[in-house]
Amino acid sequence: MSETAPQISEQTPQTQLDQPPQAVVPKAKGRGPAWLALLLALAALGAGGWSSWQLYQQREQAQQQLAQVAQAADAARQQLQQGEKDVAKRLAGLPSANDLAEQRDLLMTLQGEQQRLAQSLSAVLGKSREDWRLAEAEHLLRLAMLRLTALQDVDSAIALVQGADDILRAQNDPQAFAARGELIKVLETLRSLPQIDRSGLFLQLAALRGQLDQLQMLAPEYILPTEPQSVVSASDGSRWDGLWQQLSRYVRIDLHADQDIRPQLAGQSLAQVRLTLALALEQAQWGALNGEPEVYRQALAAASDVLDTYFDRDNQAVQRMQARLGELSGQSVVAGMPKLDEALRSLQAYLKQREAAERMPEAVEEVEQ
């Protein structure tokens, strides 16, 4: 570009002298490439600056990354050193080969002692479990005695004695033969007893108490007219009829005069008699529920006397109640309960014999030591 510009400037005066003067026409020949070259140079310069800036930024980032890597390496180096120190401390704390051998021997000895202790414990627990079961059998037998004595509950006593016999049978010990024999005798005696339904008797008497309102009094009740009939006419027949009606209110003709005439009950007197009968039935209920035969039969006899004295014997409800009282008085509320003392003594003797047999090996070991 520098060489082209002087040439143009040198040729311009010569051409102007040789040619006649003409109108000056401006020409831009040769300036376009100069501007283009200038623009390209500027673009190249900008691109170079941009590239230099990018390289500078990348260099800075690389330096920062190198610094971070160096820091991480230092931290890792410190951790590794600390880990080496910890491992060294642990290694220093570990026992030596001789110590390990001694500890191994001690461990084997301890395992042997533990096995022997486990065997001894299992043997002791087995004996203790058997002792507990035998103590349970004795407790069941005592409960059976209590049920028979206090409540006379035969079914519960049978179940309890059967449980005690099952425990002795599970022992499979020939020495328990005598005790089992006594228990089986008691079981057969209990099973042969008559079945006494005390609760059933109690409910039957309660049902009879509910029927007291159906009982009738001795004599029928006569209902009189509220107002006497007035004399309508003055004839003799109507007068005699009115006179007869007035007299019939005070006169009663009984065709069965040979029978006993008893006072008629009504109102409060009838309520008191029914209350007395209800109390007698309640007393019979108490005697049946508590196994008191004398109280039971005396209460039923008192109720029968009240029915016979104050109520009509020909009444069907009274007759049915009298029949039911007779049937219930024949029911038994108590049975002869067997004694379980002999069975209990036999079981206790077996337990003492077993305890003495268990103590004999211990005494022998003490003598040997």
**What pLDDT band is residue 52 in, cutting at 50, 70 and 90?**
confident
> Do 168 and 202 lie in a common domain?
no
> Do 161 and 273 lie in a common domain?
no
Higher pLDDT among residues 333 and 258, named by residue: 333
Q: What is the largest CA-CA distance in the chain?
A: 203
Q: Is residue 349 part of a domain?
A: no
**What pLDDT band is residue 25 in, cutting at 50, 70 and 90?**
very low
Q: Is residue 111 part of a domain?
A: no
Q: Is residue 246 part of a domain?
A: no
> Do 323 and 206 lie in a common domain?
yes
> Do 136 and 150 lie in a common domain?
yes
Mean model confidence pLDDT for the chain: 76
Q: Is residue 37 part of a domain?
A: no
- Residue 365 near residue 194 (C-beta atoms within 8 A): no
Q: Is residue 210 part of a domain?
A: yes
Q: In angstroms, rounded to a whole number, what is the distance separating the alpha carbons of residues 304 and 333?
A: 19
Task: Look up residue 108 and give its two tokens.
Answer: 């084997």
Q: What is the pLDDT of residue 12?
A: 46
Q: Is residue 51 part of a domain?
A: no
> Do 183 and 201 lie in a common domain?
no
> Do 146 and 134 lie in a common domain?
yes
Q: What is the pLDDT of residue 282?
A: 92
- Residue 361 near residue 162 (C-beta atoms within 8 A): no
* 330: three-class secondary structure by DSSP: coil
> Do 330 and 209 lie in a common domain?
yes
pLDDT digits (tens, 9 = 90+) for 294-308: 999 999 999 999 888
Task: Look up residue 86 and give its two tokens.
Answer: 């910890």
Domain limit, last residue, from 193, 226, 246: 193
The percent of residues in the chain predicted with pLDDT above 90, rounded, is 14
> Do 272 and 326 lie in a common domain?
yes
Q: Average pLDDT for residues 124-131, to the nearest whole number? A: 67
Q: Is residue 179 part of a domain?
A: yes
State which H helix or E strand residue 355 sits in.
helix 341-368
Residue 206 belongs to domain spanning? 197-215+267-334
pLDDT digits (tens, 9 = 90+) for 166-214: 999 988 888 889 999 999 999 999 888 877 777 888 888 888 888 887 7
Q: Is residue 275 part of a domain?
A: yes
> Do 326 and 273 lie in a common domain?
yes
pLDDT digits (tens, 9 = 90+) for 309-336: 888 777 788 888 899 999 988 888 777 7
The total domain count for the chain is 2
> Do 135 and 208 lie in a common domain?
no
> Do 206 and 153 lie in a common domain?
no
Residues 6+ apart with CB under 8 A from 229: 242, 245
> Do 148 and 208 lie in a common domain?
no
State the angle between helix axes of 268-289 and 198-210 in degrees (0 to 180), rounded to the nearest 10.
170
pTM for this structure? Answer: 0.43
CATH number of the domain that residue 170 is part of: 1.20.58
